[in-house]
Amino acid sequence: MEIEEWKNIIEDNKLKWINLQLTDLLGIFRQVVISSKMFDEDAINLGIGKLDGSSVYGFKEIYESDLTLRPVLDTLRTNPFEINTADIITEVFDTFGTKRLETDPRYVAQKTIAYTSSFGYNSLTAAELEFYIFDEIRSWLRPLFSGFEIKSGSAGYDEKTNHSLTIKGGYYVPPPFDESIKIRSEISDLLQDFYKITIESHHHEVGGAGQGEINMQALDPVSTSDNIQRIKYVSRFVAHKYGKIITFMPKPISDDAGNGMHVHVSLWNNGKNAFYDINDDYAGISQEARYFIGGLLSHGKALSAIVSPTVNSYKRLLPHYEAPIFLTWSKGNRSAAVRIPSYHKNYERRKRIEYRPPDPSCNPYLAISAIILAGIDGIVKKIDPGDPIDENIYKMAESKLRELKIERLPSSLDKALDELLNDNEFLRPAFSQSLIELYIELKRKEIEKINRTISPAEFYYYANI
């Protein structure tokens, strides 16, 4: 976008306020609001000194906390919720605004694009964002009183009404059973009309308490990550308008489906899909695609710390909920960590790899970057992914799992962080060592904080021992 173009946008829309938006190391979307009068050529070229890095997860200590936000002009969009206001995504700069901040997640994704390009590839990525829309969430965390309550008119867990749904009974249901279709449609309309995000589809998901999914167009890793953050941002606004609350928490309901964020990836070289091979009878994929899969499986345990980054994430990664726990690959197999979508034969444009472990609590810039870097490492080192597994892995006997040498994803965030600590060299082209160490430190503190609390389940099962 040229400078004259953004000036015209400000004038034509009578903009008074600009939301400067950024993402911290843990994936939290943040913003500061400035007057449009401050949004001049100096702000564009030099950045805006409005960020205390010590108050943002993973940025700076208090003694070196002055950071600069430099707006990305191509991301300027009018805000549909606030009058005379626009949103713009920013990049974070350090050292008098002259050097990119190493822990700015968007910078990590940009370095990943540059590294991928050094091998002659362009990457296309997309994500399936799953979420629940509830009437209300209440939670208590006090020394003598803790618990939570979810209210959902869609769910028939305790009392079945005319249009309520059962546990795992919501997949592709139409109205009137799909009570959140208007909310999803409005979210999708606003994303397309105001934010120029192409939404390919949305639908009710498996979860009976109002679970939904929104699918987006495949773009480069930075644009996809920007779009994920904006989808969450818009979704929360729209849900609030309807008196609802939307949650991207990986596992809000113990016995119902969890929220995933399956990531789709393809690599392109001179306009040709590097993952496609018309002569491959199994799934129409190339040897490069197989090596990419080998990288994902080889580094899958370490990836868990980034793509499944919360304590709650590992309550989603359980058998029989279409959440992958086994480091295997296959075509059309939703019990495997890596799936090759097989809806069409000989369709180069849609040939891709789906990595299923991620959930929407992740930082999309870090998660998508880590997935690509693991795959590129597989290509560079020619890592063999082994044979595909074309059966329901959840039903396999332990003896067969051992025979086939099928490994599991880590069963907790703590174990995943141990794996990342021991296997992170493949991330180095885009993740600095200090970023990795800081990320692990922040996540260890998060685990410690949660482990100190006593859950209601512990009283339920242990109070009378």
- DSSP notation for 210-233: TEEEEEE--B-HHHHHHHHHHHHH
Selecting among 52, 390, 425, 441, the annotated active-site residue is: 52
- Alpha-carbon span 174 to 168, nearest angstrom: 15
Catalytic one of 24, 94, 102, 128 = 128
Q: Which of 24, 94, 104, 130 is catalytic?
A: 130
The DSSP bridge pattern shows strands 336-340 and 326-331 to be parallel
Instruction: Assess whether the previous peptide bond of 252 is cis (omega < 30° from 0).
Output: no
Asked about 354 being catalytic, the answer comes back as yes
* Catalytic residue flag (residue 204): no
Contacts of 251 (CB under 8 A, 6+ apart): 258, 259, 312, 313, 315, 316
Here the tokens at position 74 are 């191509």
**Is 200 one of the annotated binding-site residues?**
yes
Catalytic pick from 230, 356, 359, 419?
A: 356
Residue 126: which of 23, 265, 323 has the closest Cα?
Answer: 265
Confirm or deny that 128 is annotated as ligand binding.
yes
* Terminal-residue alpha carbon distance, the chain: 67
Residue 388 token pair: 């595909």
Whether residue 130 contacts residue 261, with contact meaning beta carbons closer than 8 Å, is answered with yes
Cα dihedral sign, 369-185-131-20: positive
Cβ neighbourhood burial of 417 (10 Å; 0-12, 13-18, 19+) = buried
Residue in 77, 202, 204, 262 annotated catalytic:
262
446 is in an annotated binding site: no
Residue 213 annotated to the active site: yes
- Ligand-binding annotation for 441, yes or no, is no
Catalytic residue among 213, 256, 359, 419: 213
103 contacts: CB under 8 Å, gap ≥ 6: 25, 58, 59, 432, 434, 435, 438
- Asked if 2 is an active-site residue, the reply is no
Q: Which of 354, 359, 377, 419 is catalytic?
A: 354
Nearest alpha-carbon partner for 442 in 366, 336, 352: 366
Catalytic residue chosen out of the listed positions 94, 205, 220, 256: 205
Sign of the CA dihedral with 237 first, then 239, 240, and 246 last: negative
Q: Is 149 a catalytic residue?
A: no
DSSP single-letter state for residue 128 = E
Has 202 been labeled as part of a binding site?
no
Point out the catalytic residue in the list 30, 100, 163, 334: 334
Do the annotations mark residue 2 as ligand-binding? no
3-state secondary structure at position 264: strand
- Written as one string, the DSSP assignment of 70-94 is EE-GGG-EE-SSSTTEEEEEEEEEE
205 marked among binding-site residues: yes
Is position 128 annotated as part of the catalytic site?
yes
Q: Confirm whether residue 136 is marked as ligand binding.
A: no
The answer to whether 263 is a known ligand-binding residue is no
Reported as type and span, the H/E element at residue 199 is strand 199-204
316 among annotated binding-site residues: yes
**DSSP assignments along 136-194, one per residue:** EEEEEEETTEEEEEEE-TTB-SSS--TT-B-TT--TTPPTTT-TTHHHHHHHHHHHHHH
264 assigned to a ligand binding site: yes
Please say if 262 is a catalytic residue. yes
| Positions of E strands within 218-352 | 245-247, 261-269, 272-273, 326-331, 336-340
Annotated binding site for Mg(2+): 128, 130, 205, 213, 262, 354
Annotated binding site for L-glutamate: 316, 322, 334, 356
Annotated binding site for ATP: 200, 264-266, 334
Q: Which residues are catalytic?
A: 52, 128, 130, 205, 213, 262, 334, 354, 356
Annotated binding site: 128, 130, 200, 205, 213, 262, 264-266, 316, 322, 334, 354, 356
